[in-house]
Amino acid sequence: MKKLILITALFLISAVYCGAADKVITAAADPWPPFVDPGAPEEGLSLEIIRAAYATQGYTVKMEYLPWARAQDGVKKGKYDILPPVWMTEERKEDFLFSAPYAVNQIKFIKRVDDPFEYNGLESLAGKKIGTVRGYGYGDDFLNATHFKREVANDFITNIKKLTNANPRIDLAIEDEIVGRVTIANEASDLLSKIRFTENALSTSDLHIASGLANPRHKECIGAFDKGLAEIKSNGTYARILAKFGL
C-alpha cells in the first residue's frame, strides 16, 4: 500500500513538473537595444511585448543571451523555443515558423527640424552628406551609390550632434526609427526637438518571433504568441508598452 502511495505521489509530482515546464518558453538572441536589452528592467521592447502576449496564455519566457549565430542555430535545432526579434526571409522560412509581426523596423533619414527634405528614392539624396555608423548595413544600393556622400561615425549619437550643432557637418543621419528615437531620448533628449524623421523609409521590415521547425513545440509556441498578441492589442497593453518607449 505504501509503495502504491509513493508511486502515485511521484507520478503526480512528475505531472505537475512537466506541465510547468511545458508552460516555459525559452528565447535566445543577442543584445539589440531597445528591442532586446539585458540592461533594461524588462529586457527591452521585444521582451516586454512577448512576455505580455504569452502571459495571457499562461506562459512565462526565459531569456538567454547568445551571439546571434548561436542563438539562430539553437532555435533552428529546437534547443531554444524562439528567436524574439527576427526578420522573415525566404531562406529562413525553410527552417522556421514565423509569428504575426509585432513591430516594424523602418530605416529612415533624420533631418533638422526646419529642413523641408523628404526622401523619395535614392535619387532624392543627390548632393547630400549623410552620417552613417561604422559597420552598419544599409543595403548595397545605398552603400554603392555615388551621387551623395557618406560620412562614417562610430555611433549614432555622434551623427545627431553633427546634424544639429550650430555649424552642421552633415545634411542627414540614418537609423531605424524606433532605435533612433529611444537612443536620442536616453542619451541626448534635448536634441529630440531639433530633429525630424522622414515620412518615407529607405527600407521597411516587419519584426516577428520565430520557432524552429525541428522543435516539436513550434506550432504551439507561435500559435500561443499570435493569440496573446491579438489579446494585448485589444485590451490596451500593447499600446501602453509602446508608449513607455516613446512610440
Segment 25-40, tens digit of pLDDT: 999 998 888 899 999 9
- The CATH number for 104-204, chosen from 3.40.50.40, 3.40.190.10, 3.30.1490.390, 3.30.300.130, is 3.40.190.10
pLDDT tens for 91-130 read 899 999 999 999 998 999 999 999 999 999 999 999 999 9
pTM for the model stands at 0.70
Helix (H, G, I), strand (E, B) or coil at 23: coil
Q: What is the pLDDT of residue 1?
A: 52
Query: Is residue 54 within 8 Å of 110, Cβ to Cβ?
Result: no
**Segments of the chain scoring below 50 in pLDDT:** 2-20
Q: What is the pLDDT of residue 14?
A: 37
Q: What is the pLDDT of residue 8?
A: 44
Query: Is residue 75 within 8 Å of 81, Cβ to Cβ?
Result: yes
Domain extents for the chain? 2-84+213-244, 104-204
Whether 2-84+213-244 shares its CATH topology with 104-204 is answered yes
Helix (H, G, I), strand (E, B) or coil at 177: helix
pLDDT tens for 68-77 read 889 999 999 9
Return the C-alpha torsion angle 109, 113, 115, 118, nearest 10: 40
Q: Which CATH superfamily is domain 2-84+213-244 in?
A: Periplasmic binding protein-like II (3.40.190.10)
